[in-house]
Chain A
Amino acid sequence: MLIKRREFLKISSLATASLFVPNFLQSMTLDNALNPNQKILIVLQFTGGNDGLNTIIPTKNDIYFKERNNIAINDSLALNDETGINPALPYFKELFDSGELSLMNNVGYPNPDKSHFRSMDIWHSASKSDEFLETGWLGRFLDEECYKCEHPTQALEVDDMLSLALKGENNKAFAFKDPKKLYQTSQEKYFKSLYNNEHHHDDETVSYLYKTLGSTINNADYIFEKSKAKKSTQEYPNSKLGKDFKTVASLIKSDINTQVYYLSIGSFDTHVNQNERQQKLFGEINDAVKSFVADMKANGLFNDILLMTFSEFGRRVAQNASKGTDHGTANQMFFISGGLKKKGILNALPDLQNLNEGDLIYTEDFRKIYATILKNWLNADSSKVLGWKNGIYDFI
């Protein structure tokens, strides 16, 4: 990673003296900014288990229409002879046509779990189904990227709570809904004074708490400064996701060192009257992504960003009795970027003939996708972060 000379001097002069300077001075260390061609990942989580079969529709498949006679999508937008996309995602169709979207079908993992929370944990931690990890895949990436660094802002989540995906062993990402609110809370005089006047002590746990407090204060400041550095002229929809994407865009356009942004939208848990709910959520996603991509393109950044979507599971092939669907297994993932190496539909649609008790049998392991992104996009040591050794894809 490139370090600007001015900042390098600051870092190195402080680093040598760091043993002797009090907290508040140490905290002024500026972090290395991003290399101008640094790649950025935005993860968009579809919380609740999005129904993949009504997202990418197998338009020539009789089983699909038979199993879903009340909820099958009949007016999908054609991607090719046998595939359509949900009509509430017209902009995704546009991106598909212009070679700026690719999609991987049937992604999952062995021994799938149908609890939302557990399956989400598996996706976040990149664990096996019977393994319980306390760190997330992007948190471990952060551990690699930010070894002893002062600004662990390489990964940020737009939310009040930090997801497991972004918790590492030594570093945890930041979560905030609004950089300004985070800033105001952390700049409260009382907290700042406590931090600046902490008495010396040897206890490791106390140090950890003060370190986290200090890091929050400093980075809230850093994030807030960056977030207002470049005013956006792009219009964003007034939805929650629209605002979240606007926040992300403002940071991407600044020279903040963030490589990963984490967003989520839900709930996709469509047990009842599915189509109405899914359509509403897709509408919100479609419009927010459209503004975001336009913003990135206008700033010449679209080749360097990758937007990835996922959900904790797909849904069962057959509809239920309430015009909805119940928890299922494998699902598709979207990849949106100006820098895709392979575009369009990357693999075969799910096989609806060979099911496991009514559920899709996954063919692509999500950890292989993560490994691909870590290695080919974020330039990280994917085997160290994931322990994954079964190859990668070549779409980026």
Chain B
Amino acid sequence: MAASFINNKHLLWRAGFGPGIEQVDDLKNKNIKTILKEVFKEESFSPIVYETPDIEPIEYTDPKATAEQKREIQRVNQKQNNELNLNFLQKMTASKEQLREKMAFFWHGHFATRINNPKFNQQLLNIMREKSLGNFKDLLFEVSRSPAMLSFLNNQQNKKDHPNENFAREVMELFTMGRGNYTEKDIREAARAFTGWGYDKEGNFNERKKLHDTGTKTFLGKTGNFTGDDILNIILEQKSTAEFITTKIYTFFVNENPDSNRIENLSQSFYQSGYDIKKLMNEIFSSSWFYDKKNIGNRIKSPTELLVGMMRILPMNIQNPENITVYQKLLGQMLLYPPNVAGWPNGKSWIDSSTLMLRLQIPQIWSGLRPMEYSAKEDDDMEMGMKSREALNKSFKNPNIIIDWTKVDQALAQKKAEDYLIVNSESLDMNIVNQFSDKSLKMNVINLMSTPEYQLM
């Protein structure tokens, strides 16, 4: 394999969700500059929306809501959230703007929220998609003012004389500077500055003046009559913020083992650019070290990257896409439902006996060669006690996937499929794969996807 082939493949996996079936020839024929240009090419932004109509805005927690109403609210919420989840997955699969969606996926795990309100989820998801390659400052401000984040981190309850520190703490620990760069007192003072930040029933940001603590605060060495905006601005003045974000981006896009010299350089220019995300990503993907052997094919695909990667290379018609979420649950990454505000843990934590065996079987299951025999644990935050046990037990239905094998055949005929499907197949014994594939390209593709090597990118 030519170096350019490997580099193209590497870039398409890291800056997106792997090559699409229509890009198979590009891998060989295009040079990295062309692919890089395509990766960064922007189209007009189209938001993700759910189509299931909203119902009368009765709050689930409204004491006047009857059991019947609650059940209905829960049902509609879940349906709408599922739509958002699958539409996001669809964007990752089909959008030409691969880097936009990949970055949005990164921010989705970075600014992690887990709430039931679909309207709030939709709004936050689109902020992260629209601004994914914009300016980190804008992104931070918009996310911090979004009802999804404010409700998830209890800032609606953050009031003068009764501060709730949850948002103030996490914004520093997880979203910007990271631990060790502020004190407990800084958290308390910041929480005072965020008092009054909330939202109305429609989901509009609302600075509730009467609830805001107007007193003097001392935060990270500065003293003043700070508002929430002031706090975010001071946080952005800290070099540790650029370092923290750059490190996280490096470990997600380049290598799980951080290289402190490279990160130092990247973070300095990120800071000097005033937090230009696109510039940072361009610097990474244009560098020669990004294509060093040690950075290629060593990352375990997250469940989303695995599933979307398969959907991109195997043209398929998913007749019941709502059932795809079962795979997300079983593999441990349900979009919109990160485990906590720290987002999903990465790397080896995706892999245990159960998840690995399922990963190895999915290509066969989706091709109709094997039944799906696993069921996910129930999620009480989503079901909210509304689903009967019997219904839960029966809830898995097949997504009914039909793969267009003719198209796969056309794209991969006369080619070594392993070069196109797997980033690094050195450790794989191709004799075994071929032996089990019985000269069928379809079986060859399925078998290649059912390997440990296919789990890597």
Residues of A near any B CB (own CB < 8 A): 47-49, 115-118, 121, 130, 132, 134, 159-164, 167, 172-176, 181, 185-186, 189-191, 193-194, 197-201, 203-206, 208-210, 212-213, 215-216, 219-220, 240, 264, 266-267, 269-273, 280, 320-322, 324
Contacts and interface: CB of A to CB of B under 8 A. Distances in A.
Q: In the A-B complex, list the 9 residue pairs whose CB atoms are closest, starting with the nearest.
A: A269-B385, A209-B452, A116-B380, A197-B429, A132-B342, A271-B385, A160-B374, A322-B67, A172-B352
B456 interface: yes
Contact of A212 (B342, B352, B374, B385): B352
11 contacts: A115-B114, A115-B381, A116-B379, A117-B340, A117-B380, A161-B330, A175-B353, A185-B357, A191-B450, A193-B429, A271-B70
Contact of B70 (A173, A212, A322): A322
A193 B432 contact: yes
Contact of A162 (B353, B380, B431): B353
B228 to A, nearest CB: 20
Contacts of A210: 427, 452
B66 A49 contact: no
B385 A272 contact: yes
Contact of B340 (A49, A132, A162, A266): A132
A160 B376 contact: yes
Interface of B: 63-64, 66-67, 70-71, 114, 169, 297-300, 329-330, 332, 337, 339-342, 345, 347-349, 351-357, 360-361, 373-381, 383-387, 389, 392-393, 424, 426-429, 431-433, 435-436, 447, 450-453, 455-456
Contacts of A280: 389
Contact of A121 (B339, B385, B428, B452): B339
Contacts of B455: 209
Contact of B353 (A47, A164, A212): A212
Contacts of B375: 160
A190 B348 contact: no
Nearest to A198: B427
B63 A47 contact: no
Nearest to B375: A160
Nearest to A185: B357
A47 B380 CA distance: 8
B357 A186 contact: yes
Contacts of B357: 185-186, 216
B436 A193 contact: yes
A198 B373 CA distance: 28
A167 B435 CA distance: 36
B339 A117 contact: yes
Contacts of B67: 272-273, 322, 324
Nearest to A324: B385
Contacts of B114: 115, 117-118
A173 to B, nearest CB: 8
Contacts of A194: 428-429, 432-433, 451-452
A322 to B, nearest CB: 4
A320 B62 CA distance: 11
Contacts of B380: 47-49, 116-117, 266-267, 269
B385 A190 contact: no
A208 B387 CA distance: 39
Nearest to B300: A205
B395 to A, nearest CB: 12
